[in-house]
Structure 1
Amino acid sequence: MAARVVLELCVETPAGIEAAIEGGADRIELCAALALGGLTPSAALMAFAGRSGLPVTALIRPRAGGFRYDKMELQVIADDIARARAAGLAGVTIGAGGLDGLDLAAMERLVRAADGMDVTLHRVFDLVEDKARALEAARALGVARILTSGGAASAAQGTATLSALVRQAAGRPGILAAGGIRAETVRALLDATGVLEVHASCGRAAPSTAGELAFGFAGADRQMTDLAAVRALRTALDRT
């Protein structure tokens, strides 16, 4: 029997959490501001997610932009990891670095702060030029998995790199494919890469009023979790 492919659903609202549960997700990545690539969720949302019954990993990213952090920002990240732990979450999704590689000193500090929790290396990995070297660094740090599109705009465009990473990792760390994951194309991605975990938002456009848009209270790209899309993706993953 083929191994079940893990579906991690990225959500930013209580309704998204409920859709993840009802749609058959195996794990939740909890965040805020998905339109910015995801930021750290509030302590209250983490507490809500911690009662969901699904394993939840919180994205810990204190601001938009790159992933080079100063001492003050690293302290904020460490404090938010502590809040995720206090909320009973299973893990955190973290990362630090840039084009020339992971910031190993920062990563070591953050992994220590998350001791005993499930740690995912986020898509700072996609900005790193030498991905094979970064994978070995992640392995040495003890992260559970790497969230990546293979350095491309989407997982479908990064299949060659994803496949190479799967072979290199040999399951440690796991390779969590991300970027434009859809029910219609996910089987081809699995066949081409051998990944056993996928990450998706399953979003659809969220309605906003003209006033909300005019005052900047919402963006034109705001999305909400689509339960039907979650179910369709789960069905596609389970198809043999």
Structure 2
Amino acid sequence: MSGAGASRLLEVCVDDPAGLEAAIRGGADRIELCSALALGGLTPSEGFMRLAAGAPVPVYAMIRPRGGDFVFSESEADSMLRDIEAAREAGLAGVVLGAGQADGRLDLALLERLAAASAGLGRTLHRAFDLTAPDFETALEEAIDLGFERVLTSGGARSAPDGISVLERLFERAGGRIAIMPGSGVTLATLPGLLGRLPIQEVHASCSAPATLRSRAAERLGFAGKGDRRTDEATVRALKAVLLA
């Protein structure tokens, strides 16, 4: 095992208690706690936050009140502030934040409020960052100034492998001042190629597999879809092994 491999971290996003347990058993180093991963991840319930606070690894709660874009109203901002407080009261290690303007630039005014509310918690800037194209460098400097620990990004593409050239630029520009965490489309098939070109220290993945329904009636009545997926322990373990190699 190389020194570089030994220091790489795997963050797994989960949206239910079974997924949380699978990620931990599989060896995840950090959890991004969500609801509705099919929508890219929304704020988890307070009950789920409190349950996850007992995990043996750091847990960061997604703070995103709805699906769609990242241009939030004042009432949505108020909801996000309350959710940050719920994450703090639950005892979680951090939060995952992001907010943008209609032209794609980061909403610095709102992010400053969210950052102030989450003082003392770890902070990840989520893929709202990917909408700041083509001026990723400015957005990166803004993230650093706001005190984020890391940026979760696909390099502005649908997947990290597709955005690898931008990711290379971001790693160079960051210069160790902030972590760049590739995410989206990170799988057993794509991770080796990312590791071959990027100085990755942490990576984000869903590690999911098609869900097995215990009740076909749930699908028939529209409570579940044929494309539903769940966190898979074996996939977490296998991806972690690639990082450690």
Q: Give the TM-score, by structure 2 length.
A: 0.94
Q: Deviation at 1:210?
A: 4.5
Q: Deviation at 1:11?
A: 0.6
2:104 and 2:206 mapped to 1: Cα distance? 29
1:205 to 207, 210, 223: 210
* SS of equivalent to 1:85: helix
* SS of equivalent to 2:209: strand
Residue 152 of structure 2 corresponds to residue 143 of structure 1: no
8 Å contact kept, 2:23–2:232:
no
* SS of equivalent to 1:97: coil
2:85 and 2:43 mapped to 1: Cα distance? 12
Residue 239 of structure 2 corresponds to residue 238 of structure 1: no
Tell me the residue number matched to 1:27: 30
Partner AA of 2:187 in structure 1:
R
Deviating 4+ runs (over 4 angstroms): none
* SS of equivalent to 2:52: helix
Q: Deviation at 1:125?
A: 0.6
Tell me the residue number matched to 2:73: 70
Residue 117 of structure 2 corresponds to residue 110 of structure 1: no
Tell me the residue number matched to 1:189: 194
Partner AA of 2:132 in structure 1:
V
* SS of equivalent to 1:181: coil
Tell me the residue number matched to 2:178: 173
2:124 to 120, 124, 130: 120
Q: Where does the alignment leave 5 or more consecutive residues of structure 2 unmatched?
A: none
* SS of equivalent to 1:101: coil
Q: Deviation at 1:100?
A: 3.2
Q: Deviation at 1:173?
A: 1.4
Deviates more, 1:87-96 or 1:205-214: 205-214
8 Å contact kept, 1:24–1:231:
yes
Q: Deviation at 1:13?
A: 1.3
Deviates more, 1:203-212 or 1:101-110: 203-212
* SS of equivalent to 1:106: helix
2:29 and 2:48 mapped to 1: Cα distance? 19
RMSD of aligned C-alpha atoms?
Answer: 1.2
Tell me the residue number matched to 1:44: 47
Q: Give the TM-score, by structure 1 length.
A: 0.96
Aligned residues: 239
Partner AA of 2:25 in structure 1:
E
